[in-house]
Chain A
Amino acid sequence: MAVCIAVIAKENYPLYIRSVPTQGELKFHYTVHTSLDVVEEKISGVGKALADQRELYLGLLYPTEDYKVYGYVTNSKVKFVIVVDSSNTSLRDNEIRSMFRKLHNSFTDVMCNPFYNPGDPIQSKAFDSIVSTMMVQAC
């Protein structure tokens, strides 16, 4: 499962970021932040190809030796990033997709909360628990 899950606002600041505690949190922050480059590249690429506008899943953003970074962007340009351990080969594209879908649903719930102020960091427990189910169960 995922080792790091991040939700990034339209303006590219993190709304939510959680990673496996066993590994350096900082490293994931750097990784996710850098992945925004590719997200932006892909978003602007999507803009050109009108046919693919409805596809929110951006696919593999970039692989590193240890991790694979997947991206997803909502219609409101909120970005989801999931980092998966490279050695975890059992995860296929479809599973990543379904993870993103789950994440999106939960995020939508957060947004629907009238007490949530859009743009604030997400502190919802429900969202947190959804993320937990997707994270590596090593902890």
Chain B
Amino acid sequence: MCAGDQNLFTSLYGSLTQQLSREPMEWRRSYGRAPKMIYLEANFVQFKEELLPKEGNKALLTFPFLHIYWTDCCDTEVYKASVKEDMQRWQAALRLHGSVDWLIAVVESDNKKKNKTNILPRTSIVDKIRNDFCNKQSDRCVSLCDPLKESSRSQESWSSFLTKLRTLLLMSFTRNLGRFEDDMRTLREKRTEPGWSFCDYFMVQEELAFVFEMLQQFEDALVQYDELDALFTQYVLNFGAGDGANWLGSFCQPVRSWNGLLLRRPIDMEKRDLIQRGEASLLDLRSYLFSRQCTLLIFLQRPWEVTARALELLHNCVQELRLLEVSVVSGALDCWVFLSSLEVLHRIEGCCDCSQLEANSSHTVGLWTYATEKLRSLGDLCGLVSENGPDSEDLNKTVDLLAGLGAERPETMNSPQSPYKKLKEALSSVEAFEKHYLELSHAAMEMYRVNGRLRSARLLGKSLAEFYMRKGDPQSAENFLLDSLKSYVSESWSLPLTHTRKQIAECQKQLQKMDDYLQTSALLASDTNLSDEERRHFCQEILTFASQTAEGKDVCVALSMSSVTRLQELCFRPSSALVHVSAALQLELRLCSLMPVPVTLEQIAVSIHFTQEQPGSTAQKRAAQNQDGTVTFPAASPASASASASALELCEILEHSPSDNTLSSAGVACKNMHLLMRRHDSTTSLDTPNTTPSAVTIEDGAQMLRASDVTLLPGNNSIVFTSQKPGVYTLRQLCATLGRVQLVLPHLYPVVQYEVYSQEPQLSIQPLTEHLLAGLPQQVKFTILTGHYSVKKGDALQLSNTDSMPVLHSSTRSARILSSSSAELVAESALSIQSSEKVTSISLPVTPPYHTLEFLLDVLCHIPSCPARMESERLTNGQISHRTRSRTRFNSGMTLIDQKVSVDCPWSIYSTLVSLTFHVPFKVKHSLLSVGRRKFIQVCLQNVSDTNFRLTNQTLTENQHTPSLELLSLNTTTHSQCVFSVWELRWSGVCPVSLHCEFSASFAPADAPDAALKPYRYDFTLERVTTLYSVRAEIRPAAGEQHCVSGSLCRLEVSVTRLSEAGDSDEDSSDTDGLRSCRLLYEVMDNNSNWAVCGKSSGVVSMPVAAMATHKVHMEVMPLFAGHLPFPNIRVFKYLPHHASAVIPPDTDSCLENDSLSLDDQAETASLRSRGSVQSLGSGESAPRGPMPKRQAFGPGQVFNSTQGQQVLVLPAADHHVMEVNVT
């Protein structure tokens, strides 16, 4: 407040107000609140005594914080005359009102100074004033120099003046504010006293808020309002708790006006007046409070907090009105909320740009939704939603509601989209309501979608659908319902699911979508969330439809069976799910009916798929089937609803290398990886519908298993099917017929298969022991798998007899009949065997199909006398198939005989050939031994089987009974497992060229009696028995030596002597020089490296064919070691010239077998001399690739080597040889 020279002040006023707020001041605050930098602004008014605040004044805003006395007096006289007096009066007035905040400003100017030259020093006036007034506070008087001039001095004085002014102003402000706050607190503490008025207190605290707002301290201002808000809320709550305050009564008056929030004015003075007068209603107070908060929050740039607070406020108000039991016209609050929400939204839109709004739609969407809800309930109230439109009562209500809105406020009068206009329009007609409601709903849903709040969007969509249903527009409703159904299904929220589904059913019924409706009804009928009555209703809907006679197009309706029944288990009898043709396979289904009432099905059928598969390959496919033939179908649990197929399906992978079929890699692969590896997060699962759509396809044309007239009771049922035709079947679908309705289970998972097979009869004969031994009676087992053939009376097996393997007649045998599937003994019956010359006939007992017939038979295979001979006999039925073939198994040394049996079976016109392999238990070997001219025959008989045998009675006979021949036995009787027998062969005269001998012995198993001895025969032929040549060798030491010494040459003399006259026809002889002679090739070689043959080691000699003709050959050999050394090998061959060998087929065996003599080495003439004269003889004829001379070995007995086994003593060589070796 300015006193003093008003003209002076007016001249300075402009720059003063301008400069005061230019610089901030630090504001230190009481109660430990943080200091703040504030910009001071002041309102200057002329001092009037009546403006000074009275005692108890609460107005802070108009409070005079500082009193300033302005003067430009520079004349002491004038000062003394008038100014001082004026000042004193001013001071007195201030003191009277207890104001201590004052300032005296003395303005000095040079202009005045110049005019009065002889005045007192300038400072004296200031000093005087200081002396007079500021006895203690010298700073209360300031001087200002030339304020209107642009000089540095002037500026300096300005700034110091302003600083002082600010400091003082702030000091005063702080002091007064503190006092004000204290007062306010005191007032608040009195709130429990009777007569306390909230409205009065409200005004006081708001004053504080205004001051803060003025100081731009919006935060602090907001705090004041929040405190008021909280205080009021607490009162309301206390009131609700029964602790009522009297003053609250005024807020409990009935609500008469619901015109919503008003946020466009900074201060709603209308409402403020109401509050001040204590006439405000609760809504008025709340509206006013919120509008102030809103203003401050927008100043604070926090618009999103406004929306959150707005929602809270609206909810809160509704609650409070309810709590205070304020009577409200129904719908009035809805109007208020609607208007308020839209008003807030408009306000926010007004202070933000579009992109900001979109980005923060999550904050506003709540308000949008709330407004939508409220509009909807208003529509319901005023009959705007029903199909028929509002009736008169509704119209009355509408009029009442509109009356409460009052007139539109001037601020929004001009905007065409004001909330007020919207509401009025919406309530005016059905169409306008629909338009506004849809607009709001879609806006809110869109916002939810953008924010990813799909569930909220769908819930809103559902209420929109309800709206459409009320309007009788099921078409538009259906999509919204299906959409929201999707999210409940995917997250398995059963209760909302049931509710939504019920709405869908209603909708579909109205739309006449019979298929869908029935499907939904089926689901509802089995829904346990519904009451029995409702379920029965929906079940009845299906049954009614089913019993209607079909008319025209839609004859049948296929529904998913899974909605009404649950396939629990499937059971095969027999459990292997593998039956032969004509056997009964029972398939038992266990269905759990979810229907509330028993349902009679005309037919229930399992469609089956026939697959032409190899039997056995299905075995692994039937992995899901248990050992006892049951398949359990997994129940869909809510947990696995979204991941039902998440079980790992593993399969084994074995890789074989293509070349040798060895295992190259083994592993396990997951077959359903694509399902498991799919990204799986909860947000996307909301949108992926995993229930199969209602489109159910029925496979037709497939084979079916049927059961007719089945009644499905609620709960578990079991249905039995039977099946016949051969093949492998996979169960595909389950289909139940109910009048026009078919219930279909489109897929059966896991895959279930069964197999019906047909089998040809089979005969197999197997040995009972590991080996069948020839020569002894052996048991073989006949197995007949009857297959589809049933053995009738009189059916017999015809076995063709063979000499080598007779069927033995033994005591009566019995046949066992087994059932093929379970292998249990069914019957046992006697078997009769008749035998004719050619055929053995076994009459079979009567056996049903698919059984196994088993019996044993004794057979004997004769040991052939000559193991290498092939036999071929003609059978009774004309086939040359009965053949005995022998081969030798080298590992066991046993000879094998394959015995083929031809069997005529009654079920086939063809004979069955069965091969049996017998083992000959003996090995026999014969050899001819000679000593000079004497000849011996040795036969070795050896048991090579595992069975112990007794061998006895060896005899050897000559078949041709040559009279001059005599076989002299040199044996003693033995019984061992291996028998060597020797006979001397003596003859007189000429020995026969070949001898046919027969060896026979008796054998029996070691533990059998003598009577069981069986003959064993062995035929063999000996040829060229007589000795033709005798070879004798002699080794002599070198001349002058007594003994052979190793390393020195010795002389080897070989003499070949012919022992017998020529008589052999096969002997090659040539007539040279008139004498019959025979060419012999001799060869000396030492395989043991004992000797080194020096010079030629082989040669051809010509022997005259005469007894005792001798040919001697000399050569040099060198012993390589000392000791008794065996003689080197001397071998003699027949030498065949090339012309002779050209006639004979080349006998490669004897040609180039085992010697160092290379006959075809024609070109090596240099070696001729050393190698011998072989080539020199025929060198003229031998062409490079022409026929070559041959050599032929003599028979085993034809050459007798008398030096075989003889040894010669060789002394070690002298030491110096060793020395030499050591030196080198």
Chain A interface (Cβ < 8 Å from any Cβ of B): 9-14, 25-26, 29-30, 33-34, 36-38, 40-41, 62-65, 86-87, 89, 119-121
Contacts and interface: CB of A to CB of B under 8 A. Distances in A.
Nearest to B318: A65
A121 B638 CA distance: 9
B312 A29 contact: no
Contacts of A41: 362, 451-453
Interface in B420-473: 448, 451-456, 459
B319 interface: yes
Given A33-B488, A34-B455, A41-B453, A119 B496 contact: no
B641 interface: yes
B311 A11 contact: no
Contact of A40 (B311, B452, B641): B452
A30 B459 contact: yes
Contact of B455 (A14, A37, A86): A37
B685 A63 contact: no
B496 A26 contact: yes
B639 A13 contact: yes
Contacts of B683: 40
A123 B151 CA distance: 91
Interface residues of B, number: 38
Given A12-B491, A41-B453, A63 B637 contact: no
Given A10-B682, A87-B319, A89-B237, A29 B496 contact: yes
B456 A34 contact: yes
A9 B455 contact: no
A37 B641 CA distance: 21
Given A13-B638, A120-B639, A34 B459 contact: yes
Nearest to A67: B315
B636 interface: no
A41 B683 CA distance: 11
A34 B323 CA distance: 27
Contacts of B1098: none
A14 B491 CA distance: 8
Interface of B: 237, 240, 311-312, 314-315, 318-319, 322-323, 362, 366, 370, 448, 451-456, 459, 487-488, 491-493, 495-496, 499, 637-639, 641-642, 682-683, 685-686
7 contacts: A11-B642, A11-B682, A12-B685, A37-B448, A37-B452, A41-B362, A63-B315
Contact of B641 (A13, A25, A34): A13
A41 B451 CA distance: 9
A14 B322 CA distance: 33
A8 to B, nearest CB: 9
- Looking at chain B's contact residues, the main secondary structure is helix
A63 B312 contact: yes
Nearest to B642: A11
Contacts of B492: 13-14
Nearest to A36: B455
Nearest to B452: A41
A94 B237 CA distance: 19
B315 A9 contact: no
Q: Closest 9 A-B residue pairs measured CB to CB?
A: A119-B639, A37-B453, A13-B492, A29-B495, A12-B491, A37-B455, A37-B456, A34-B455, A13-B491
B459 A86 contact: no
Given A26-B495, A40-B683, A120 B637 contact: yes
Contacts of A36: 455
Given A12-B682, A87-B323, A29 B493 contact: yes
A96 to B, nearest CB: 16
Contacts of A62: 366
Contacts of B370: 65
B319 A25 contact: no
Contacts of B315: 63-65, 86
Given A63-B312, A89-B237, A120-B637, 12 more contacts: A11-B685, A26-B499, A29-B496, A33-B487, A33-B491, A37-B454, A41-B453, A62-B366, A65-B315, A65-B318, A87-B240, A120-B639
A104 to B, nearest CB: 20
Contacts of B682: 10-12, 40
A13 B448 CA distance: 21
A86 B237 CA distance: 12
A30 B366 contact: no
A38 B491 contact: no
A63 B639 contact: no
Contacts of A25: 495
A10 B642 CA distance: 12
A89 B235 CA distance: 12
Contacts of B491: 11-13, 33
A33 B455 contact: yes
Contacts of B311: 63
Contacts of A33: 455, 459, 487-488, 491, 493, 496
A120 B452 CA distance: 28
Contacts of B496: 26, 29-30, 33
B487 to A, nearest CB: 8
A122 to B, nearest CB: 12
Contacts of B322: 87
A16 B882 CA distance: 84
Contacts of A10: 682
Nearest to B236: A89
A30 B491 CA distance: 12
Contacts of B638: 13, 121
A83 B685 CA distance: 25
A61 to B, nearest CB: 11
A50 B454 CA distance: 26
Contacts of B448: 37
A12 B491 CA distance: 6
A123 to B, nearest CB: 13
A26 B499 CA distance: 8
Given A13-B641, A33-B493, A86 B454 contact: no
B62 to A, nearest CB: 39
Nearest to A28: B495
A36 B458 CA distance: 13
A38 B639 CA distance: 22
Tell which of B237, B455, B459, B641 has the most Cβ of chain A within 10 Å: B455
Nearest to A62: B366
A38 B685 contact: no
A13 B641 CA distance: 10
Contacts of A9: 639
B738 to A, nearest CB: 31
A14 B496 CA distance: 12
Contacts of B455: 33-34, 36-37
B756 to A, nearest CB: 40
Contacts of A120: 637, 639
Contacts of A34: 455-456, 459
A33 B642 CA distance: 17
Tell which of A10, A25, A29 has the most Cβ of chain B within 10 Å: A29
A65 B488 CA distance: 24
A11 B685 CA distance: 8
Contacts of B641: 13
A40 B453 CA distance: 9
A110 to B, nearest CB: 15
Nearest to A17: B495
A13 B493 contact: yes
Contacts of B312: 63
Contacts of B686: 12
A63 B682 CA distance: 24
Nearest to A13: B492
A82 B240 CA distance: 24
Nearest to A86: B319
Tell which of B314, B454, B491, B499 has the most Cβ of chain A within 10 Å: B491
A17 to B, nearest CB: 8
A28 to B, nearest CB: 9
A30 B452 CA distance: 17
Nearest to B311: A63
Contacts of A65: 314-315, 318-319, 370
Contacts of B685: 11-12
